[in-house]
């Protein structure tokens, strides 16, 4: 087990593409850290630099107290699970799992012991004699996990390990991964583009965009206080609603006056002028203002998606579309006019510029 420390990491490709632009972060021993972001944000490249599969253009990577920039992948004491599993097709499941140990000249009895233990832990004992092509997607993923586990590495690296599984299997494997991490307690760096995986698995989430870290924090902290508009839009499903408007007279006015809300307690710290107000779908209160919520606007329902336990109402507020989460199976139909309020303390104010930094 080990800490991982990354300092001023850059990746520039020969073509001039600057994939990773100076990221720094410290991963605690035993932590489950998730790197998340849209495709091309540099998360996989960063992981591959930690693995030693990509050269570091600039910066330092330390595993434990050892600088590993120029150490071969096999000598970094890491194991990696690939998105496409990358099982050796010409070897049986048993040999796939034993390969890394054989390369390290581990004694035969020890290999046998570790492979058996890992196979038991993953319930793949009956598959040991098979070749990868005889396995289903979920089984292959287990074997790939097994190959990583038997190595007993200091750090596990996961590169979108669940994205090739179907939705049902993904949920199941997600839970198993969480369980596995709790049992082994090994440091994990996990790359995904799926915010649900990030929220459910990570001790902390690192959200990246364009090769830059946008925010590092615990999942709920990121959810509750996104550092900028990009983070706010990325985390949460359905995504946060944004209203471009103006702060004046201690309130926020948007959609040509169709929506307005007082900014009690916030107005003092935020200067007047253009701003963007973010409200999560579940933070709307249907019925307008009361003691817990401030009146916001009257919205017309355009589409009502019945989910059973809730209804996602697509509404139009002064011409702009938003999504409102209505709990229960209360009847909401297209054409309805809903008076909307906003839950107290659930408003996110962002700067109106491209960066969209959080104001309050």
Partner 1 sequence: MREPLRITILRHAVLLAFVAISIYPVLNVVSISLRPGDRLRSTDLAIIPADWTLASYAALFTEQPFLRWLGNSLAVSAAVTVTGVALASTAGYAFSRFRFIGRRATMLAILTTQMFPATMLLLPLYVLIARLGLVDTWLGLMIFYTATALPFCVWQMKGFYDTIPASLEEAARIDGCTRGQAFWYVVLPLATPGLVITALFSFMTAWSEYIVAAQVMQREEMFTLPLGIKGFQASLSSQWGLYAAASILVSLPVVAVFLSLSRFLVNGLTVGSVKE
Binding partner 1 (rule: CB under 8 A), the pick from 20, 61, 63, 135 is: 135
Residues 74-103 that bind partner 1 (CB under 8 A): 74-75, 78-80, 82, 84-90, 99-100, 103
Separation CA 32–CA 178 (nearest Å): 9
φ, ψ (nearest 5 deg) of residue 18: -105, 90
Smaller CB separation from partner 1, 90 or 309 = 90
265 touches partner 1 (CB under 8 A) = no
Separation CA 292–CA 252 (nearest Å): 18
- Burial of residue 50 (CB within 10 Å: 0-12, 13-18, 19+) is buried
Separation CA 262–CA 193 (nearest Å): 36
Smaller CB separation from partner 1, 78 or 324 = 78
Q: Least distance from C-beta 48 to partner 1, angstroms?
A: 8
Q: Least distance from C-beta 86 to partner 1, angstroms?
A: 4
- Burial of residue 112 (CB within 10 Å: 0-12, 13-18, 19+) is middle
Pick the stretch among 58-66, 129-137, 243-251, 284-292 that binds partner 1 (CB under 8 A). 129-137
Q: Can you read off the two tokens belonging to residue 269?
A: 């710290």
Q: Least distance from C-beta 115 to partner 1, angstroms?
A: 14
Pick the closest to residue 181 from 133, 225, 138, 148 (CA basis).
148
Binding partner 1 (rule: CB under 8 A), the pick from 66, 104, 108, 357 is: 104
Q: Can you read off the two tokens belonging to residue 44?
A: 């996989």
3-state secondary structure of 179: helix
For residues 160 to 199, the per-residue mask of contacts with partner 1, x marking binding by CB under 8 A and - elsewhere, is ----x-----------------------------------
3-state secondary structure of 289: coil
Q: Can you read off the two tokens belonging to residue 154?
A: 């200091």
Pick the closest to residue 145 from 163, 130, 128, 157 (CA basis).
157
Binding partner 1 (rule: CB under 8 A), the pick from 38, 137, 265, 331 is: 137
72 touches partner 1 (CB under 8 A) = yes
Number of residues that bind partner 1 (CB under 8 A): 33
Q: Least distance from C-beta 172 to partner 1, angstroms?
A: 17
Pick the stretch among 135-143, 222-230, 258-266, 331-339 that binds partner 1 (CB under 8 A). 135-143
Sites of contact with partner 1 (CB under 8 A): 14, 51-53, 72-75, 78-80, 82, 84-90, 99-100, 103-104, 131-135, 137, 140, 147, 151, 164
């Amino acid at each position: 087990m080990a800490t991982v420390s990354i300092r001023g990491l850059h990746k520039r490709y020969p073509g001039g593409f600057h994939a990773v632009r100076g990221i720094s972060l410290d991963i605690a021993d035993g932590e489950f850290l998730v790197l998340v972001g849209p495709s091309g944000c540099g998360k996989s490249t960063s992981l591959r630099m930690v693995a030693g599969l990509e050269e570091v253009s600039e910066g330092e990577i330390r595993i434990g107290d050892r600088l590993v920039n120029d150490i071969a992948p096999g000598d970094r004491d890491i194991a990696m699970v690939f998105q496409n599993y990358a099982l050796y097709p010409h070897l049986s499941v048993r040999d796939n799992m034993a390969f890394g140990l054989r390369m390290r000249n581990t004694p035969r009895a020890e290999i046998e012991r570790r492979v058996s233990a890992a196979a038991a832990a993953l319930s793949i004992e009956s598959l040991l004699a098979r070749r990868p092509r005889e396995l289903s997607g979920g089984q292959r993923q287990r074997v790939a996990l097994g190959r990583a586990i038997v190595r007993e590495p200091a750090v596990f690296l996961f590169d979108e390990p669940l994205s090739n599984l179907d939705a049902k299997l993904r949920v199941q494997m997600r839970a198993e991964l969480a369980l596995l991490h709790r049992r082994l307690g090994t440091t994990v760096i996990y790359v995904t583009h799926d915010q649900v995986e990030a929220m459910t698995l990570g001790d902390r989430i690192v959200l990246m965009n364009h090769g830059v870290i946008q925010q590092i924090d615990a999942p709920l902290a990121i959810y509750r206080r996104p550092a900028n508009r990009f983070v706010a839009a990325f985390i949460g499903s359905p995504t946060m609603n944004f209203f471009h408007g103006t702060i004046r007279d201690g309130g926020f006015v948007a959609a040509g006056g169709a929506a307005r809300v007082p900014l009690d307690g916030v107005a003092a710290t935020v200067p007047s002028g253009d701003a963007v107000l973010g409200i999560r779908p579940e933070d709307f209160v249907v019925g307008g203002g009361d003691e817990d919520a401030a009146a916001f606007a009257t919205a017309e329902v355009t589409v009502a998606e019945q989910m059973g336990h809730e209804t996602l109402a697509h509404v139009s507020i002064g011409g702009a579309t938003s999504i409102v989460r209505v709990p229960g199976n209360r009847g909401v139909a297209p054409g309805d006019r809903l008076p909307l309020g906003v839950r107290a303390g659930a408003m996110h104010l962002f700067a109106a510029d491209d960066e969209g930094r959080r104001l309050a």
